[in-house]
Amino acid sequence: MSEDHPTPDAPTQTIVIPPEVSMVTLLGPRDEMLRTMERAFPHLDVHVRGNEFHLTGPSADIALVERLLDELLRVLEAGQPLNRDAVERSIGMLRAQTAERPADVLTMNIVSNRGRTIRPKTLGQKRYVDAIDAHTVIFGIGPAGTGKTYLAMAKAVAALQAKQVNRIILTRPAVEAGESLGFLPGTLNDKIDPYLRPLYDALHDMVDPDSIPRLMAAGTIEVAPLAFMRGRTLNDAFVILDEAQNTSAEQMKMFLTRLGFGSKMVVTGDITQIDLPGGATSGLKIVREILQDVDDVHFAQLSSQDVVRHRLVSAIVDAYGRWDETQIQQSGGYRPQRAARRPRSGGPR
């Protein structure tokens, strides 16, 4: 029950949940989903008796909760469990009156592996995935944690499984984060592995790990630094360029002109995390201006609202964004160059 009690003559509504639906599944452990609804609608009294929701409060809130329950039931019917994050995102989409229904976003399956299904979790992510289906060259731009590369790789694996392409090519620029590759120990593969490790990690989530060496040996899956793309024409391939903010304008042009027949390209990056030395211009920052009027090229912009890591990550991204804008204003419009980062591994980006 919410803390702000409605007036005695406030509208009331009873919503009956079908008997075949488990109320424990709908309400969550320790009624977590119910508590999430109550926090989101503080002016609404919500009582649950048996399989009935009794709502008292503003008519608009009642109508929204009625739609919310319908969406959550559709998610359960699709065999997907509910969690607090799904409820909060559904409420946000309903309040924003998006054309897409929350259940359509939360039940969209991309690829399954070992009992795990990869799907978009936000409206921005679904629109990004839809854009990958609809266009040949797609740019996914946004902060860390929005699933830019992870979802692109899932679409690549799905396209390979559906025989829409013959191979997957994953590439990154090997920006030298304060160290020269020539001075690092080991073979060339040993030297470039730290830059490519995040791609391998994500790939292991989507493809049987035992089959990856075989697929790589056959050339069905290739993971390589961007420099290895020069001089090639990539036909019948799903090609992903990750960390594209660390490409120069020349490298970006080189990569995009590798596009061959029957291929699709997805370019992902975060223009707030540029590691290029000496203040060099990022190819990702200027490519929108260059290609914005080119047919079949799409720019998908993801935001902190699409961050699917810990809920604090979204707040951290926003806080850094505000701080950066303050620094730009104080410096008269000059954006200071970020210090180079060392290669990192793990987690979808």
Q: What is the CATH number of domain 12-106?
A: 3.30.1370.10
Residue 304 pLDDT greater than 80, yes or no: yes
Q: Model confidence over 265-287: pLDDT tens digits?
A: 999 999 988 888 877 899 999 99
Residue 344 pLDDT greater than 90, yes or no: no
How would residue 335 be classed by pLDDT, with cut points 50, 70 and 90? Answer: low
**Inter-residue contact 314 to 124 (CB < 8 Å):** no
| CA–CA dist 33, 53 (Å, integer) | 13
How would residue 8 be classed by pLDDT, with cut points 50, 70 and 90? Answer: low
- Residue 340's pLDDT is 45
**Mean per-residue pLDDT over the chain, rounded:** 85
Question: What is the pTM for the complete model shown?
Answer: 0.77
Q: Model confidence over 145-158: pLDDT tens digits?
A: 899 999 999 999 99
Q: Where in the chain is the domain with CATH 3.40.50.300?
A: 111-330
What does DSSP say about strands 237-241 and 297-301: parallel, antiparallel, or unpaired? Answer: unpaired
Q: Model confidence over 203-253: pLDDT tens digits?
A: 888 998 889 889 999 999 998 889 889 999 999 999 999 999 999 999 999
Look up the CATH superfamily of 111-330: P-loop containing nucleotide triphosphate hydrolases (3.40.50.300)
- Residue 75's pLDDT is 92
Q: Kindly report the backbone phi and psi dihedral angles of residue 147, in degrees, each rounded to the nearest multiple of 5, phi listed first.
A: 80, 20
- Residue 13's pLDDT is 92
C-alpha pair distances (Å), 2 with each of 8, 16, 37, 138, 197 = 15, 20, 9, 45, 48
Token representation of residue 349: 């980006």
Give the lowest-confidence range in 161-165, 173-177, 218-222, 337-341.
337-341
What does DSSP say about strands 137-141 and 264-269: parallel, antiparallel, or unpaired? Answer: parallel
- Residue 35's pLDDT is 93
Residue 63 pLDDT greater than 70, yes or no: yes
Residue 290 pLDDT greater than 60, yes or no: yes
Q: Where in the chain is the domain with CATH 3.30.1370.10?
A: 12-106
How would residue 191 be classed by pLDDT, with cut points 50, 70 and 90? Answer: low
| CA–CA dist 82, 46 (Å, integer) | 19
Residue 76 pLDDT greater than 60, yes or no: yes
- Residue 36's pLDDT is 93
